[in-house]
Amino acid sequence: MNTYRRIELDGALPKRRAGIIWDLAGVFHVDHTRLHSAFRRIPAVETRLRLATSLLSDVVAQALKPGAFAPVEDTTAEAHGLAILFRSRPTVVSRLLNIHLSDLRQIASQRAQVQARLDFSTASHRFNQHYERELHNLQGEMDRIQRQGPELLEQYLTNPMSQQCWQTLVQLYTAGPMGMEPQQLEASTVASLEKIFDYYLIERTLSSVTLSAGGVLFFVDTLPYYRAIYPIQGAIRPDMQHYGWLPSSFPRASMLRRHLRTAHVLGHDPYFFWNDSRLTNRR
């Protein structure tokens, strides 16, 4: 209970206790989603999210203007303001912001293309309704991504997994589907990874530790964000074929896959969207 009181006061999960949200869910007999939502209502968290939304408004408006994308520099007032708010470095804040803004611009570009096709369409009204539905869906996607901006910063600046856990995930991913021998890894770090998302990320056998199917997708989805906060040398190129999966089995536009990616990126409960038979069609 003392741990929970500290969380209520600081609005941050203790970094030395990986997977504590699952422990607390068990203590309070509630599911992960309800507890995660309750954390967002902690006054300290609400204050950070509200102030972050205000600081992000001008940055987002500027990023969505037509023309070449001008990345947010770590010298800007917004980067410094958010760095103070989240007790982080402006360089890290600007990296995360630029990932978020690039995603927004990508959807905005798709929306502009659909709008142009509708404006100059000579097709029937019935066919134009298809464009209108697509515009509506893309606008909804833009609104959703924009709303997630403050939560994204909260997740990676306040409650990220530890650098040691992330580096171990990198090792396991690059090792491939055969995994690594347990003695090659720090036992306490592996135990911490098991607790994150309640035994979702990795699998053990008598002779190896490997990423689970969900763990591979989690790694691919969160790689840009963790590279922003924990820079590492060398290129890491996510390639699901490395694990014998067809890229076409993971259409980013599919509803289920999009929701799962959001759960991974924002630290929501991935089990709600996880369905092995639909997300991992093996060759």
Given this model, what pLDDT does residue 218 score? Answer: 94
**pTM of the prediction?**
0.86
Given this model, what pLDDT does residue 125 score? Answer: 65
pLDDT per residue as tens digits for the range 166-222: 999 999 998 888 899 999 999 999 998 998 888 999 999 889 999 998 999 999 999
Given this model, what pLDDT does residue 244 score? Answer: 66
> pLDDT: is 74 or 19 the higher one?
74
- Provide the residue ranges of all domains of the chain, joining segments of one domain with +: 42-156, 163-266
Q: Phi-psi category of 197—alpha, beta or left, where left has phi over 0 and alpha has psi -120 to 50?
A: left
pLDDT per residue as tens digits for the range 3-51: 677 777 777 877 767 777 787 777 778 888 888 888 888 899 999 999 9
Given this model, what pLDDT does residue 33 score? Answer: 83
* Distance, C-alpha 197 to centroid of its chain: 13
pLDDT per residue as tens digits for the range 245-278: 655 555 544 778 888 999 999 999 888 887 644 5
For 229, the token pair is 């906060």
Per-residue pLDDT at 127 exceeds 50: yes
Given this model, what pLDDT does residue 283 score? Answer: 36
Q: What is the mean pLDDT of residues 119-148?
A: 83
> pLDDT: is 70 or 251 the higher one?
70
Given this model, what pLDDT does residue 282 score? Answer: 42
